[in-house]
Chains A and B, each alone.
Chain A
Amino acid sequence: GENVEQHPSTLSVQEGDSAVIKCTYSDSASNYFPWYKQELGKGPQLIIDIRSNVGEKKDQRIAVTLNKTAKHFSLHITETQPEDSAVYFCAASRRYSSASKIIFGSGTRLSIRP
């Protein structure tokens, strides 16, 4: 079945440094890749997404890259700040399908050291 693998499971970086989280997906029909941030006691919040016809997308300090051939996609956070500390989930789905279930990775707990 569909599967999304996410690495690392935990990540600690110095404030101001960059953080990178990587994911791979198994369903070659996946064409939409959102990233969610989950803070303690809250629901996941969409922070950025990328479609399969785009290789890279950037929004201020965060960027996502997608390699469809390798079925890899990554989240890059630059100039990290304390408020970036959270659990980050990658996900994959078939956006144009009657079965549009969103399959999530296992999450990365990001800690920003002051």
Chain B
Amino acid sequence: DSGVTQTPKHLITATGQRVTLRCSPRSGDLSVYWYQQSLDQGLQFLIQYYNGEERAKGNILERFSAQQFPDLHSELNLSSLELGDSALYFCASSASLGTTGTAYTEAFFGQGTRLTVV
């Protein structure tokens, strides 16, 4: 168990709908990363938050958004869903090595949320 919790584990929804994926990082970790993994594909970086602030952005679609709350949990919002958005969505967290959030320990992944758009 990595200590990173993702809910729900599975989600089935129709095209055009909106869903929210939730991630609780390991206790004490301030940084959260979101990744998308399509079938038999690699891990595509979406976005990173540190202590509530966006720090890095990948190829995240405009239909997708994320935020990190004061209690450090994070949510990934996916809207106007398309069939091609079906994938595993992973959250990872890491601790900061300093007070400025510019140095990090290794990242630990949750079990993922499997999203199926029908």
Find out whether the CB atom of A46 lies under 8 angstroms from the CB atom of B42: no
Cα A105 to Cα B41 in complex, Å, equals 10
Task: Name the segment of A62-70, A73-81, A91-99 touching the other chain.
Answer: A91-99
Which among A96, A97, A104 is the interface contact of B42 at CB below 8 angstroms? A104
A99 with B43, Cβ < 8 A, contacts A43-B109, A46-B106, A46-B107 known = no
The answer, yes or no, to whether A100 is at the interface (CB within 8 Å) is: yes
The answer, yes or no, to whether A103 is at the interface (CB within 8 Å) is: yes
Determine which residue in A42, A45, A102, A106 has the highest number of CB atoms from chain B within 10 A of its CB, and name it: A102
Which among A43, A97, A99, A107 is the interface contact of B90 at CB below 8 angstroms? A43
Distance from B111 Cβ to chain A, minimum over Cβ atoms (Å): 5
Find out whether the CB atom of A97 lies under 8 angstroms from the CB atom of B102: yes
User: Using Cβ atoms and an 8 Å threshold, which residues of chain B touch A25?
Assistant: none
Find out whether the CB atom of B42 lies under 8 angstroms from the CB atom of A102: no
Chain B residues with a Cβ under 8 A of chain A: 2, 4, 31, 33, 35, 41-45, 48, 50, 55-56, 58, 90, 92, 94, 101-104, 106-112
Other than A98-B56, A99-B55, give 19 A-B pairs with Cβ distance below 8 A.
A36-B109, A44-B43, A44-B90, A46-B108, A49-B106, A89-B42, A89-B43, A98-B55, A100-B102, A100-B104, A101-B45, A101-B48, A101-B56, A103-B45, A104-B42, A104-B44, A104-B45, A106-B41, A107-B43
